[in-house]
Structure 1
Amino acid sequence: MTNKTRKTRTRALPWCTLAKRLGAAAGVLALAASGTAAHATEHPGTELAAYHRQHVTWTECREGADDEVGTALDRAGARCARITVPMDYSRPTGRTMEIALSRLPAADPAHRIGTLMLNHGGPAEPTLGMPLETRAYMGEVGSRYDLIGIDPRFVGRSRPLDCGWPTGIWVRSAGTGRAAFDRQVAYQRDLAERCAARHGDVLPYATTRNTARDMDIVRTVLGERRVSYLGYSYGAYLGAVYMQMFPGRTDRMVLDSAGDPGTYGPRLLQGREVPTEQALRAWASWAAARHAAYGLGASRHAVLATVRRIVGAATDRPLRVGSYEVDEHVVPYLISNGVGSDLEGDRAAFSGAVRVLDKAARGITVAPTPELEGSLQFVLDSASSHYGSPAAAIICGDVAAPRDPEVYWRDIERSRDRHPLLGPITNNIAPCAFWPKAPREQPTRIANDTPALIVSATGDSATTYRGSRAMHRLLTGSRLLTLHGAIGHGVYGTYGNACVDAKVNAYLESGRLPDGNPACTK
């Protein structure tokens, strides 16, 4: 069933959500190796007792006249608070930090089901305002939950980490030759060194496992024996890690756009080439049918030729788009990232952006569309550093990356024949190659029979449908709800498919998983 109207998130981003902007660099979930380190939260003892018993003071959410999220939360009847957690769970009597959370209480307390924790993904996307949109997705069952939005450690209001980067996100193409790759090596090294200089003392504690430990302190402080959970993309991974670390403490778990547990880490873009190329071809057909509107080509072949021409022009010289210059490192990323949704509004916005890039490639003076300007600001503007910095810190703190640039160069060169546009992106070097500290723990091995509902679209080019199936195999108590024929990352509520929304809401209401793996169609 097709639902032509799209529900948008509270903080909409140009033509795609932040999770899409991270291009699965932040979207893929779960961990690759076994985790053996035991810390106090997994086995609560006297050292964490004070954290579990702390008193919570609920206040207004608004912080300043320009705080739109806080104002909206207050208007909806939500309240906000801060709780104290250990900076380092292996030394709970040492340094502490505060975690910000919001609570939108059940509107039908007489039939209250429980508490539903939320996470937008990213990693490092603020989640404080998420209860507002989630209640709208949930329909009638939304009134029966307390909805909890948590800004994870080092994100948003929870001691935000900003490395002072000259960019919002580190993902780039390696370019066409060795000189271009060497520029990327220097660029990514600089990003890592900026984080080390500003936040070297706390980087080791920016990890998914510590975020899961924070969630369990939130659970106990709220007085809940078990909590329900809804997480998108990286948020699905975070939910899976919580389930693994804290068995028996979850109720209804919805993991939307979950990724392959074997691919999470600094090189998690690898393997996304084929679904992204399929999405690119699908968009090209759509744009060809609207050649009169966008002028990109009257056939799929012609549109793809336009894309190649744009990329080639950016290789010769940076393209001028308004006040921005976009080069061979940025243009391929913009193209690959923009095809990740088949919703009409997203495709129209992306097609308008490509039209601008095409004109710039032909030497025409152009200004960006509003959507393209937002994306260029995110990719190229230092004002967005507070998004990319903590995302990198979490990924680099979770899983170690190869340190030798030659490893990346060899992979890039091997990928060029089959994937000339995407191979230099998915195999490119990243800040983790130069991260100042190795991960303090082994990654979490995801393997249990905890009940959960995994939701995925077959055309997801970020975490991929194949990745969600891998998560489903490892969570043997789970069910996989598939949206067939759709290209999109983030399905429940955000894609606008009535069938998916109804099945998720039925599970949240009853707590009963389907007998088999249900399916919906676009």
Structure 2
Amino acid sequence: MRSAIMAVAISALTAGLLTATTASADISPLDRFGDQSLTWQPCDDSRLDPAGAQCADVIVPVDYSAPQAETMTVSISRLPATDPAQRRGVLMSNPGGPGAPGLDFMIDVRNGMSSDVRDRYDLIGMDPRGIGRSTPVNCRWQHGFGLESAGIDGVGFAESVAQQAELAALCASNEGPRLRHITTRNTARDMNVIRAALGEERISYFGTSYGTYLGAVFSQLFPERSDRFVLDSAVDPEHYGSVGMIRAMGSVNEAAFDRWADWVATADNEFRFGADRSAVRSTVQDMVRHANDRPIRIGEFIVDEHSLPMVLYRGLDDPRNYPLLARQIRQLADAADGIEVQPESELAAALAFMLTAQPRDYSPASAVLCGDVEVPRDPAWYWRNIEASRADQPLFGAFANNIPPCAFWAPPVEQPTVIGNAVPSLLVQSTGDTRTTHAGAQVMHRVLTGSRMVTLEDVPVHWIYGNYPNTCIDSTVNIYLRDGTLPDTDRTCQDDPGRESR
């Protein structure tokens, strides 16, 4: 009898251990991240705190293939839905870049929202991994921001090659193995952890520029977790990366320059660049050539053939900035003529960012781009493309085809995400976008088979909803976010009348 009792007891104990072992095996190591409790507190931010936002840190694995190893934090913000009775869920977001902090992004985006959209969503901002408050990448760059023109000759290109190699080496030495995990796929995985930690079954999403690619990667990896997605100023997913995306900017920025030149020629008495497009173009191209021979000293900055085209690039992405850009180029032209000039505040800030890596460097952007997609490594390949582009892209070909830091980066740990799904989404795009081209957005539209596109015609603006008010665009987006109703077909919107530059 005693032996029989012992046998039964051992059998029961063994069964219990097997059951416990099986149950334990069913628990994913990632579950602990989704089950974490968030601590909401004031954001200590001059924009977010007055708006009533709160912030929290979310713990995520550095490497999702080893979730029990090293962790990092991702910072998020929350602006609560204004009518809890109407609340639908959360609307996450990304402002692009890559490399742009996004904690306060939704304060701007909600400018386009109707009140019944604000009623329905907690608006979630996020500093993506490696950026802002989210365990930031810091390569300690002292100059440059990873984007520059190669200049007008082989000497200038050689300088670019040396500088981009130096930037990559600084990232490798200062960041180490963690750098390879600052990727779009991991940020999308972080978003899914955030979703779970917020207690949501699905997320809605608004992203602009690079943020459209992040949104598309999320919907590709987690289609069952994707609700209403708005992708504004969309990246071409088949040419995403530090080479494909940048090369596409050459011709569209030349076209935008011509449009700016037409505008500035009408104010020749004020700006003195020339009375027609051709004269303005000739004046500015001469400035670039002269900056190669004799860099322009303006205030504490020295502007050369590598950086002068980038001042133009930064100013051409919104027609409301045309007067501001004209004033900046006039200041640079005066300084080139030997006049002592102190740059106005916005030009000084732009030059500080480009030339001195202040207030922050652009290394997190390179971390994402280089971690996502491998690029050609032979400098001769880039030089051939630069030379071939000069005839029809005299101002921007040497920028759009220049060698990036990624040419000197360690290979990505994962292959890029192939986008192709039927998750419903709404694409918003302008035909003249200088950063993410209309043609590239059409590729995104094609591979997102459940999408509709609404196009703002004949406006060279990058990021529309919440940034460039347009009745037609805002209404289409708000109806979709409120009701989930996509347009029956793609549609085209015109610029609102009475638009003024500043």
* 1:463-495 CA-partner distances (Å, limit 9, x unpaired): 011111110011010000100011110011201
Q: Which residue of 2 aligns with 1:264?
A: 240
- 2:157 is aligned to 181
The root-mean-square deviation of aligned C-alpha atoms, in Å, is 1.3
Amino acid in the other structure paired with 2:306: H
* Distance of 1:513 and 1:53 partners within structure 2: 34
Q: Assess, with a 3 A threshold, how the Cα gap between structure 1 residues 158 and 254 changes in structure 2: closer, same or farther.
A: same
1:105 matched to 2:80: yes
Contact 2:288–2:309 (8 Å) recurs in 1: yes
Is 2:433 the partner of 1:444?
Answer: no
- Are 1:284 and 2:266 matched, yes or no? no
**CA shift for structure 1 position 372:** 1.2
1:316 aligned residue: 293
Where does 1:483-498 land on structure 2 (aligned, <5 Å)?
483-498=456-471
C-alpha distance after superposition, 1:153-184 (max 9, x if no partner) = 01111001111112351111111221211111
In the alignment, does 2:105 pair up with 1:130?
A: yes
| Displacement after TM superposition at 1:411 (Å) | 1.4
**1:427 corresponds to 2:389:** no
Q: Corresponding residue for 2:432?
A: 459
Task: Give the Cα separation in 2 of the matches to 1:278 and 1:358.
Answer: 22
What is the aligned length?
468
Residues 367-382 of structure 1 correspond to what in structure 2 (within 5 A)? 367-382=342-357
Counterpart amino acid of residue 450 in structure 1: V
Letter in 2 for 1:177: D
Distance apart, 1:241 and its partner CA: 0.4
Structure 1 gaps of 5+ residues are: 1-43, 63-69
Letter in 2 for 1:456: Q
Q: 1: distance between equivalents of 2:402 and 2:414?
A: 25
Whether the aligned pair in 1 keeps the contact of 2:145 and 2:357 (CA below 8 Å) is no
Partner of 1:115: 90
> Residue 274 in 1 paired to residue 247 in 2?
no
CA contact (8 A) 1:227 1:249 kept: yes
| Pair 1:511 & 2:493 matched | no
Conserved 8 A contact 2:250-2:399: no
Map of 1:411 onto structure 2: 385
Partner amino acid, structure 2, of 1:284: A
Q: Relative to structure 1, is the Cα distance of residues 474 and 210 closer, same or farther in structure 2, using a 3 angstrom cutoff?
A: same
**In the aligned structure 2, how far is the partner of 1:407 from the partner of 1:443?**
22
Greater radius of gyration (CA): 2
State yes or no: 1:468 paired with 2:441.
yes
Matched residue, 2:322: 347
Task: Name 2:282's counterpart in structure 1.
Answer: 305
Structure 1 counterpart of 2:248, which letter?
Answer: G
Residues 151-230 of structure 1: matches in 2 within 5 Å? 151-167=127-143, 169-230=145-206
CA contact (8 A) 2:241 2:373 kept: yes
Name the amino acid aligned to 1:413.
Answer: E
How many percent identity over aligned positions?
A: 47
Equivalent residue number for residue 13 of structure 1: none
1:73 paired with 2:73, answer no
Secondary structure, aligned partner of 2:49: helix
Q: Which residue identity lines up with residue 296 of structure 1 in the other structure?
A: F
Contact 1:169 1:385 in 2 (8 A): no
For residues 414 and 281 of structure 1, the distance between their equivalents in structure 2, rounded to whole angstroms, comes to 20
- Return the offset for 1:137: 2.1
Q: Tell me the amino acid that sits aligned with residue 138 of structure 2.
A: D
- The structural deviation recorded for 1:45 is 5.3
Higher relative contact order (CA 8 A, sep 6+): 1
Distance 1:336 1:79 in 2: 35
Give the SS at the match of 1:335.
helix
Q: Which residue of 2 aligns with 1:251?
A: 227
1:53 match: 35
Q: Is the 8 A contact 1:136 1:142 kept in 2?
A: no
- Bigger mean CA offset, 494-503 vs 134-143: 134-143
Which residue of the partner structure matches residue 356 of structure 1? 331
- Over 3 Å counting, the alpha-carbon distance change for 1:72 and 1:269 in structure 2 is closer
Contact 1:113 1:144 in 2 (8 A): yes
Which amino acid counterpart does residue 220 of structure 1 have in structure 2? A
Contact 2:112 2:469 in 1 (8 A): no
Aligned mate of 2:126, from 133, 150, 155? 150
Looking at structure 2, the residues matched to 466 and 205 of structure 1 have their Cα atoms a distance apart, in angstroms, of 30
- Distance in 2, matches of 1:96 and 1:277, equals 44
Residue 253 of structure 2 aligns to which amino acid in structure 1?
T
Report the CA distance between 1:72 and its aligned residue: 3.0
Residues 55 and 221 of structure 1 are in contact (CA less than 8 Å); yes or no, is this contact kept in structure 2?
A: yes
Provide Cα deviations, 1:210-255, integer angstroms capped at 9, x if missing partner. Answer: 0000000000111111110000100111000000011111111000
Three-state SS of the structure 1 residue aligned to 2:354 is helix
Name the CA shift for 1:45/1:181 in 2 (closer, same or farther; >3 Å).
Answer: farther
Q: Is the 8 A contact 2:89 2:122 kept in 1?
A: yes
The amino acid of 1:153's aligned partner reads R
> 8 Å contact 1:319–1:361 — kept in the other structure?
yes
What SS does the aligned partner of 1:91 have? Answer: coil
* Amino acid corresponding to residue 454 of structure 2 in structure 1: L
* Shift in Å, 1:131: 2.6
Shift of 1:57: 1.2
SS in 1 for 2:134: coil
Q: Is the 8 A contact 2:168 2:406 kept in 1?
A: yes
Q: Give the secondary structure class of the aligned counterpart of 2:119.
A: helix
Aligned counterpart, 1:38: none
Deviations 1:443-471 (A, max 9, x none): 00001111000000001011011111110
Amino acid at match of 1:305: S
Q: Which contiguous aligned blocks of 4+ residues in structure 1 show a shift greater than 6 angstroms?
A: none
5+ residue gaps, structure 2: 1-25, 496-502
